Amino acid sequence: MGGSEEQYVKDAFEKNWIAPLGANVDEFENQVSRYTGAEAACAVSSGTGAIHLALDVLGVQRGDVVFCSTLTFVASANPILYMGATPVFIDSEMDSWNMSPAALEKALKFHKMTGRLPKAVIVVNLYGQSARMERIMEICNRYGVPVVEDAAESLGATYRGRASGTFGRIGIFSFNGNKIITTSGGGMIISDDELLVKKALKKATQAKESAIHYQHRTIGYNYRLSNICAGIGRGQMEVLDERIKKKREIFEQYVEGLCDISAVDFMPEIEGSFHTRWLSTLTIDPDKTIISPRDVIRHLSAHNIEARPVWKPMHMQPLFDRCAYFEEAEDHSKYLFENGLCLPSDTKMSEEDVERVIRLFRELLPVGKITA
């Protein structure tokens, strides 16, 4: 916690505003709007719920096609199934690890020829870095397909001077417990289209019509954020920039401590972007060493330190094994999964903590090339 959260939560108790509305909800939405420059925001119970609402208000229906980044957590893709639509997954580019504009255009050309253009494209901004949104938006606008920008992991990142989440028709954030700031569980929809956000708000509150009784014409959901969780979010927003600074310092310490190992390549920060380094991520080149990311994970685990693989791509998941997948040239997402590693990145880590991880990492991967 940053320090102010308890006071905002206490205020909710004192005013007896516990339900999913109140001053904390309103101000939390205002904070996110001001921070990102978006015209409107709607606080909801999760990032997954935010994506679900986004697809709903964009008119996605059963039988439609929706494109989605393959290198992501399953929460990016599950809402496509909620709507009864069919996911089509798009490969990553190596220099951003995010959706490949080349693979996206390949998929759009194919689907235009078949007469089944997607109803939406979900672009994920991975691990705290924006995708190459200007190019992606140019392609999607040319085909008339709206973009949902899944910025769940990238609050605070920018690309070409604009905040992550503000390029697409709708942007979403997550405030799950593992994110750079948290409301315990929660999410946010942002957009410059205020009417679209109002539509999402109505859907999030069971799609109640304006009447003295409970009147419903369309399907709705119970997705609003509580005033208590929003109070936590208000306090967290006050320390967001401090958290980003710390995340980047941790990443830079890893770079300094491991950059002389030829097999290690850190996730790049693409030109014109500001990467929050939500997670410090790297790849281990299998052509330069027999040591794999799984070996490092096991070695760190033996010393009570948790590290994890990069997200397993959706096109490799059993849930989506019948879904189409468009590669850039070769399967970059598969390579990143098989050779990628997420190192401990918590903002409570001290320099000594990070140095310990570096030291243990180097026990397995010393300087130079290691071959069988």
Q: Do 353 and 204 fall within a single domain?
A: no
163 with 255, same domain: the answer is: no
* Known active-site residue 312: no
Choose the catalytic residue: 119, 179, 247, 334: 179
Residue 172 and residue 247 in one domain: no
Helix (H) or strand (E) holding 70: none
Q: Which of 212, 237, 262 is the last residue of a domain?
A: 237
Total domain count, the chain: 2
> Which string of b and e fits 85-113 if b means at least 16 CB within 10 Å?
bbbbbbbbbbebbbbbbbbbbbbbeebee
**d(Cα 265, Cα 2) in Å, to the nearest integer?**
33
Q: Identify whether residues 66 and 210 lie together within a single domain.
A: yes
Co-location of 303 and 173 in the same domain: no
Q: Domain containing 173 — which CATH number? A: 3.40.640.10
Task: Answer whether 247's CB lies under 8 Å from 180's CB.
Answer: yes
Residues 116-144: pLDDT tens digits? Answer: 999 999 999 999 999 999 999 999 999 99
Same domain, 228 and 256: no
Q: Is 260 left (phi over 0), alpha (psi -120 to 50) or beta?
A: alpha
> Do the strands 162-163 and 158-159 form a parallel or antiparallel pair, or are they unpaired?
antiparallel
Looking at the fold, whether 218 and 158 belong to one and the same domain comes out as: yes
The CATH number linked to 353 is 3.90.1150.10
Residues 34 and 167 in one domain: yes
Domain boundary among 237, 256, 278: 237
User: Measuring CA to CA, which residue among 22, 33, 67, 27 is closest to residue 326?
Assistant: 67
Q: Give the domain extent around 74.
A: 5-237
Burial of 363 by CB count in 10 Å (0-12 exposed, 13-18 middle, 19+ buried)? exposed
Place 370 in a pLDDT band, splitting at 50, 70 and 90: very low
- Summary mean pLDDT of the chain: 95
Q: How far is CA 116 from the centre of its chain?
A: 27
pLDDT of residue 327 exceeding 50, the answer is: yes
Both 315 and 351 in one domain: the answer is yes
Quick count: other Cβ atoms within 10 Å of Cβ 71?
Answer: 29
Last residue of a domain, one of 237, 272, 287: 237
Strands (E), 183-312: 187-191, 264-266, 273-274, 280-284, 308-309
Q: Is the dihedral of CA 199, 203, 209, 212 positive or negative?
A: negative
Same domain, 77 and 215: yes
Q: Are residues 177 and 292 in the same domain?
A: no
Specify the pTM: 0.94
Check residue 367 and give its pLDDT: 63
Encoded tokens for 116: 């089944």
176 with 193, same domain?
yes
Q: What percent of the chain has pLDDT over 70?
A: 98
